[in-house]
Amino acid sequence: MSTSANRGAFIVFEGCDKSGKSTQCSLLVERLNRDGISAQLLKFPDRTTTIGKMIDSYLQQSCQLEDHSIHLLFAANRWEAMPKMNELLNSGVTLVVDRYSFSGVAFSSAKPELSMEWCREPERGLLRPDRVFYLTVGAEVASQRGDFGAERYEKKDFQAKVATMFDKLKDDSWTVINADKAVTELSNEIFEHAMNVINSAQTEKLGKLWL
């Protein structure tokens, strides 16, 4: 007799701007649902909550917040999502998440005042993804994808610093995916990776991040 239903997988996409993360997240969720696998798309920051609205106005540069304090708001925006994410995963829904704590640490620690160790602390104990898909694009391809937008952090020099921080955060739960290719080809490749994660997650317990 089986004791519990299969849980969903927790998949995170990370990468710098112009890596095609958001497009690939949506395509993956559509494809999974079409194939009869229950999956849902989430995105951090979640700009719809009270905390998310503060983050949104910070990103849109309509308010100024002290560096430590905005870092804690990004983390709080994940903590407030934990009960719902836990419930969805345990009820068998696979979560495809556009950015997570790794963006949190990479972006904040790219600022001179904040160390990586300090930045990790408020993220400790959050649900740990089963796998991180890290999308990389060369500078040339990224620039062909158009100019950066007008939000805070959307600047070439800062993005380069963020990329070095992502490299430091990488561990063996990350799959680095070269995203310098056509959208469909890339989405097929990602789908294959995702199916492996979904199958192996069923027999593994959900973990906690950085404990």
- Residue 201 Cβ, how far from ligand FDM at the closest point, in Å? 22
Helices within the chain (DSSP H only) = 21-34, 50-59, 67-79, 82-90, 101-109, 116-120, 139-144, 156-169, 183-201
Total residues contacting ligand FDM (rule CB under 6 A)? 9
State the first-to-last Cα distance of the chain, in angstroms, to the nearest integer.
33
CB closest to ligand FDM, residue no: 104
- Residue 27 Cβ, how far from ligand FDM at the closest point, in Å? 16
For the chain, count helices (H), then strands (E).
Answer: 9, 7
**CB distance 98 to 47 below 8 Å:** no
Instruction: Between 99 and 120, name the residue whose CB sits nearer to ligand FDM.
Output: 99
What 8-state DSSP symbol labels residue 123? G
Nearest by Cα to 13 from 21, 4, 2: 21
Question: In the stretch 26-65, what mask flags binding to ligand FDM with x, by CB under 6 A?
Answer: ------------------xx-------------x------
- Residue 15 Cβ, how far from ligand FDM at the closest point, in Å? 10
Helix (H) or strand (E) holding 42: strand 39-43
Instruction: Between 81 and 186, name the residue whose CB sits nearer to ligand FDM.
Output: 81
Residues 95-154 that bind ligand FDM (CB under 6 A): 99, 103-104, 107, 153
Under the binding rule (CB under 6 A), the answer on residue 7 touching ligand FDM is no
Rounded to an integer, what distance in angstroms lies between the CA atom of residue 67 and that of residue 29? 33
Instruction: Between 10 and 74, name the residue whose CB sits nearer to ligand FDM.
Output: 74
Q: Where on the chain is the footprint of ligand FDM (CB under 6 A)?
A: 44-45, 59, 74, 99, 103-104, 107, 153
